[in-house]
Amino acid sequence: MSQRIFEGLKVLDFTNNVAGPGASALLADYGAEVIKIERPVLGDDTRMWVSSVLENFTWYPWLNRGKKSVTISLTDPDGLAIIKKMVADVDVILQAFRPGVMQRFGLDYESVSKISPSVVYCSISAYGQTGPKATKAGYDQMAQAYTGLTDMTGEPDGPPTRVSISIIDHSTGINAFGSICAALYHREKTGEGQHIDTSLVGCAFSMIDPFEEVARGAALGVPIKATRTGRFTSYPGTGTYRGKGNEYCAICVNNDKLWGLLCQALERPDLITDPRSNSVLSRMKNAPLLHNIVADWVASFDDINEALEKLDKFGVPCAKVNSVGDLVTDEYLLARGAITDIPAPTSMQARGVKTIRARGPWHVLSKTPLQMRKPPDLGEHNVEVLTRYGLSADEVVKLQDRWNKSK
């Protein structure tokens, strides 16, 4: 009975960079035919990012695994005419232009839904389709800065620090995927399509609780800004602990039971009942004192792994702070399939590179697992796809020549 979940579903993807492509990559992994519209000549921005330039080609292929690439000039009337045929034919559309751009092309949800009422149309933007900032440009960095994530991260009294990866782009992509799946479920039951408005800032803000932060800061008398990552939300929870060999670990205790286990590991049972540490609230109020006790304990081991083994033995949640450099050969990640090989794009295969080492599936569905398929070269599927929409192969080639020259 099992089949790929979205087998037979057609997706038209106008997005670029990380968030949108991340969402449509999951649709492709689960079997949808995703047709990615790219600019002639240049294609997706990520084709030009450094690893691509260096030919260590990872960003683009991973984010666009399993898709078909079609180059079309949207500003050319012939290009737009083809696109209009395509939007009427697909089940799902993703777009991440600034609000207003799709309207100018007559490709906005209102226009498309008139000819295709069952379409699920997902718009991704920095600040959302409505409101006073709708047309403002923005990337991951802006969402992190705007929502306080940057301000909350970093050393106490140090500068605000960006989370070092495009974590908001990625999580916006996952949000877009989830909301598209929910809308498809609704469509499957009712036949009704709809528009989805999701944004980088909205997704970032959904993961931060400013009301909690403000209430806690006031109750503890500690301004958030001055503490950043050093502020205490539970204890221990936020900091890292340095071992003798300049290696670090993280420890997390968020309830009385785990605190008891930590006290046993530290051989400090007195701290279980000590009024300075016998509740979540008292531990938070006395976090600096407790932090020194734990930090001294970690630093007392010649090898940080000995501290971690002891914590493990008592069931205290802990982990070594790994460097990404160590992870590419990590046995656990390999055993889990979290590191895998995906097929290399056709052009790389022609050079003898058959696979790319990449991140593997992170949700494992027992009957319809996601499958990471081959990423496309730029315009690789022009003829295959565009001949479905009334063009001959010859006409496709001529159009592409014209667009390539005009760039």
Q: Least distance from C-beta 295 to its own copies, angstroms?
A: 11
- The footprint of its own copies on residues 358-377 (CB under 8 A) is 358-359, 362-368
Query: Rounded CA gap, 21 and 257, in Å?
Result: 43
Q: Least distance from C-beta 356 to its own copies, angstroms?
A: 8
**Both structure tokens of 45:** 């921005």
- The footprint of its own copies on residues 275-294 (CB under 8 A) is 279-281, 284
Stretch that binds its own copies, among 172-180, 264-272, 344-352, 374-382 (CB under 8 A): 172-180
Of the residues 12, 102, 107, 201, which one makes contact with its own copies according to CB under 8 A: 201
Q: Least distance from C-beta 130 to its own copies, angstroms?
A: 7
Q: Least distance from C-beta 306 to its own copies, angstroms?
A: 17
Q: Which is nearer to its own copies, 106 or 337 (CB)?
A: 337
Judge residue 137's burial from the number of C-beta atoms within 10 Å of its C-beta, 0-12 exposed, 13-18 middle, 19 or more buried: exposed
Of the residues 11, 12, 19, 26, which one makes contact with its own copies according to CB under 8 A: 26
Q: Give the DSSP letter string of 15-41.
A: --SSHHHHHHHHHHHTT-EEEEEE-TT
Q: Does 224 bind its own copies (CB under 8 A)?
A: yes
Strand partners, 195: 121
Q: Does 14 bind its own copies (CB under 8 A)?
A: no
- The footprint of its own copies on residues 39-78 (CB under 8 A) is 45, 48-51, 53-54, 56, 58-59, 62
Q: Strand, helix or coil at 195?
A: strand
Q: Does 378 bind its own copies (CB under 8 A)?
A: no
Query: Rounded CA gap, 53 and 323, in Å?
Result: 24
Determine the distance from the C-alpha atom of residue 359 to the mean position of all C-alpha atoms in its chain, rounded to a whole number.
Answer: 12
Query: Rounded CA gap, 71 and 90, in Å?
Result: 17
Q: Least distance from C-beta 231 to its own copies, angstroms?
A: 7
Stretch that binds its own copies, among 66-74, 345-353, 356-364, 374-382 (CB under 8 A): 356-364
- The footprint of its own copies on residues 203-222 (CB under 8 A) is 203, 205-217, 219
Of the residues 335, 351, 352, 405, which one makes contact with its own copies according to CB under 8 A: 335
228: which DSSP letter?
A: G
Q: Least distance from C-beta 232 to its own copies, angstroms?
A: 9
Q: Least distance from C-beta 398 to its own copies, angstroms?
A: 28
158: which DSSP letter?
A: S
Query: Rounded CA gap, 43 and 69, in Å?
Result: 9
Q: Return the ∠ at Cα 348 (arms to 342 and 353), rounded to 5°.
A: 65
Q: Which is nearer to its own copies, 98 or 402 (CB)?
A: 98
Determine the distance from the C-alpha atom of residue 383 to the mean position of all C-alpha atoms in its chain, rounded to a whole number.
Answer: 31
**Both structure tokens of 165:** 């990866």
Indicate the residue type of 79: G
Q: Least distance from C-beta 395 to its own copies, angstroms?
A: 30
